[in-house]
Structure 1
Amino acid sequence: MTTKINGNDLLEVGYTPGKILGIALATAGHLSELSLREVKVLLKKVKDHPENFLNDILWKTLASEIMEEKKIDPEISLKETALPYTLYGAEYIEEGARKQMDIAMRLPVTAAGALMPDAHQGYGLPIGGVLATRNAIIPYGVGVDIGCRMALSIFDISSAYFHENEAKFKRELIAHTRFGAGNGFHGQYKTDHEVLSREEFNLTPFIKKLHDKAYSQLGSSGGGNHFAEWGIIEFEKRDEVLDIEKGSYLALLTHSGSRGLGATLAGHYTRLAKENCKLPAEAANLAYLDLNSEPGQEYWLAMNLAGDYASACHEVIHNKLTKAVGAEVLAKVENHHNFAWRETWNGEEVIVHRKGATPAGKDVMGIIPGSMTAPGFLVRGKGLTNAINSASHGAGRQMSRSKAIKSITKDEMKRVLKAHHVTLIGAGLDEAPMAYKDINLVMEAQKELIDVVAKFTPKMVRMADDGSRED
């Protein structure tokens, strides 16, 4: 019996035109003793599970080509023992975050790690986790909100003037900010910025399609814990670097990231990483991309584009509000988290992932917020090696969002706001101050990592009012 199989038969079982289809036809020519149906069933098995046919004399060529095209690799083993890492404020860190960090320290590409005192469980790398890898980047080690950051503008306006004109500051804060998943600006309200002309938007058709979304959301903020707030910043002594005298000043503090652009990029490259890097189930969300590979290089460029876009969003917000209140900016400080950097650690070039951690290299400035009623801190890094030049990015949650909603009432939240003389615009119970750790304890736990330059006290806080999460 001669089996007559053609290209259309192979298309029916999932093959596509090209080199592999030709190899499949040639291989099928050696199966004359089988029926057409049997050959098609066998060819489909090879296509779906080529790894099972790599040692078969007849099928290994076809199986190898399919493996190469799909970039299917055998499961990558974790190290039997986790590398040691340093915890700061261990008594404040939940077990789930530690377990996630333990798994991250068993990756074959891991060089070093550290866990900050605001750490809590996330996806893949815990929030508050710092991980240094060798020539590999982990999309979920960066996080969904790529390049999320803090930005602080300090103005030549006194606290007295702010309190005398709170209605004006509230009006302008509402007028020049947009919050929540999917929200942005349209028509004449859209703002242009040089970041929108970046060549990386033409890197791939997929990224190019995100340009319009990026344009409409430029200058807006996400949901969840993202905010824009007026507050009073106090310097107990003159700061020579910022050239600011001792005293109290009005400041604008914002927290947000790369909006829909970053979230879409994160989802896309996480899927690619999981397809290319087969890890055991407990480590699946730590799938990484080799920086020498095309997907790895793409993600690196896309991540940096998203980070610069997030910075542009803050720049637009700060420029609008500075102009609206007629202020002069005395100093600006900005730092990001949810990012990966090329850095030298112990004499070796590594990729440092800071998922919810503030860069704190020697003399590097950063902002560590508390909650809507707790103070934030302007800090200067000490460059501690064990912490991989990092510090916390906030107080950190002590309640999940669902638990906060179930256990905190609106009246309780109102009482806390009133006691701290804070005006709140938007926000849900999931962002209530009680849902967060005590920022003072967190700062004490990391005093060897940073020096405090000034204290910021929130006075008027704007957040998403639709209950949406971060983009």
Structure 2
Amino acid sequence: MTTNITGKDLIDLGFEQGRELGAALERVRVLGLEGQALADWVNANKPAPKLKPQVAPEIQFNLEAETEAEEENVAKVRETMDVLMRTPTLRAGAVMPDACPAGPVGTIPVGGVVAAQNAIHPGMHSADICCSVMVTEFEDAQPKDILDAVHKVTHFGPGGRPNGMRYTMSPELYDAFRENSFLNDKKILQAALEHLGTQGDGNHFAYAGTSSANGTTCLVTHHGSRGPGASLYKLGMRAAEAWRKKLSTGVLKQNAWIPADTDEGEAYWQALQLIRKWTKGNHNCLHQAAAQVAGKDVRERFWNEHNFVFRKGDMFYHAKGATPVDTEMLPDTNGTQIVPLNMAEPVLLIRGAVTDRNLGFAPHGAGRNFSRSAHKRALGERSEAEIFAAETQGIDARFYSGNIDTSELPSAYKPAATVRAQMAKFGLADVVDEIVPYGSIMAGDWERDAPWRKKAAAKRAARQTGGPGDG
């Protein structure tokens, strides 16, 4: 039996427009439903109302402006957090002293923490999943020897390691990748093998210094999950976008989410945990290799992530560049966390307790008041060599590519003293030790010598001279 029920009839009874409407209309016509029977069927089978932007919950701002540049930065952070917190899954938010914008308005800023109920937001951990820091303390070593050793064994810049120069990925972890629906991807599996033992570029580093408390030499590395994490992020954003369209209206695309209690949500959560293991192993293989090259014994090693998602019941804490101090989130340390500032400042070792202000987090570093390009413009007409000499006096600062990157020199970051003072003022964490710098290694401006750039330069030169170029 069929009826002449229309889509409008179903909408009038409370069935929203969308993909499900056509299938529902076909079903009620086949069933021949009318009157109260139709109303009862619609009430039992209509999709849940789509979620809409909410009234933003309160945000804890652990950030103050002391200069004009900082006032502009704070205003931008507040603006983006006010829009971000309208995402209907979010229940709490906090901003750390190192906060700075990281995209269009409504995007979680660096130094931002949000708690989402039953939801994982890939855009809120970003492409650099599990960006993290590891410290190894040595029994008897000199900082220069350790920095030289890690320089020999590490790799900065794009891509991975060629055959014959790779570290070995755990077969058990590789099999676990293959069993996960997100990670069983040819590109991810290949990158997991090739990128192990690499540190990428940007603000990632290898750093050697001396513990103020113990007088011992320490190695510190900073990097994330490289190609595997970046590819997982893309797949996660694709899945989240499908859920955003199905579950919500008016929510920004960058704030899409995967419901944690779905099969897809559980698979993505497990993928994050496997990427976490891979990233810790990525740090560990470099530290082990450096210790072996230097011929030194290890006293202690610990690690923590600051770009990740942390779970407590059905609440998922998304930290975009914020260091957890909540012991429930710290399975890999003795409660001591690592906060680097810049290459000329000590790496801080901190401990903290959960408060209403910090949501269980502290700063992850120094942050920026200006973009990289704006900072470079502000440096004026001085040469790179002059700027480098002035800002790295007294430390052994190295760029792996051989090209200075002025956007990673100390002046590119917020003043370390300001971040430390605000961390103390707002009760975010206590400093328990400092690793005083001897020196560090960063990628540097590797793009200056990138093959694509050289090829483009050759073509430009050829056009100017009328030659054939390097085609």
Give the TM-score of the pair, scaled to structure 1.
0.76
1:456 is the counterpart of 2:435: yes
Which has the larger displacement, 384-393 or 201-210? 201-210
Q: Distance in 2 between matches of 1:60 and 1:412?
A: 75
Q: Alignment identity in percent?
A: 29
Partner of 2:127: 144
1:320-371: per-residue Cα shift (whole Å, max 9, x none)? 0011111122222211011111126xxxx41111110000125722100011
1:307-326: per-residue Cα shift (whole Å, max 9, x none)? 11110000000000011111
Which has the larger displacement, 51-60 or 275-284? 51-60
Which has the larger displacement, 413-422 or 300-309? 413-422
Residue identity opposite 2:198 in structure 1: S
Alpha-carbon offset, residue 251 of structure 1: 0.7
Residue identity opposite 2:362 in structure 1: A
* Change in 2 beyond 3 A, CA 1:188/1:117: closer
Query: What secondary structure does 1:272 align onto?
Result: helix
Aligned length in residues = 392
Query: What secondary structure does 2:212 align onto?
Result: strand
From 211, 226, 246, the equivalent of 1:233 is 211
Q: Distance in 1 between matches of 2:166 and 2:23?
A: 64
1:76 is the counterpart of 2:55: no
Q: Distance in 1 between matches of 2:413 and 2:289?
A: 30
Residue identity opposite 1:154 in structure 2: E
* Change in 2 beyond 3 A, CA 1:110/1:356: same
* Contact preservation (8 Å) 2:52, 2:250: no
Partner of 2:217: 250
From 391, 396, 401, the equivalent of 2:372 is 401
Partner of 2:91: 111
Q: Distance in 2 between matches of 1:195 and 1:149?
A: 22
1:217 is the counterpart of 2:188: no
Partner of 2:315: 350
Query: What secondary structure does 1:312 align onto?
Result: helix
Matches for 1:18-167 after TM superposition, within 5 Å: 51=18, 54=21, 76-79=51-54, 81-91=55-65, 92=70, 93-123=73-103, 124-157=107-140, 161-162=142-143, 166=144
* Contact preservation (8 Å) 1:200, 1:301: no
* Contact preservation (8 Å) 1:147, 1:308: no
Partner of 1:421: 395
Q: Distance in 2 between matches of 1:211 and 1:273?
A: 22
* Change in 2 beyond 3 A, CA 1:204/1:433: same
* Contact preservation (8 Å) 2:149, 2:290: yes
Q: Distance in 2 between matches of 1:177 and 1:350?
A: 37
Query: What secondary structure does 1:388 align onto?
Result: coil
* Change in 2 beyond 3 A, CA 1:257/1:303: same
Give the TM-score of the pair, scaled to structure 2.
0.76
* Contact preservation (8 Å) 1:185, 1:217: no
Alpha-carbon offset, residue 125 of structure 1: 1.4
Query: What secondary structure does 1:94 align onto?
Result: helix
Alpha-carbon offset, residue 156 of structure 1: 1.9
Residue identity opposite 2:212 in structure 1: E
1:366 is the counterpart of 2:337: yes
Gaps of 5+ in 1: 1-26, 31-49, 63-71, 236-246
Partner of 1:382: 353
* Contact preservation (8 Å) 1:152, 1:333: yes
Which has the larger displacement, 352-361 or 172-181? 172-181
Alpha-carbon offset, residue 198 of structure 1: 4.2
Q: Calculate the aligned-residue CA RMSD, in Å.
A: 2.9
From 179, 190, 208, the equivalent of 1:202 is 179
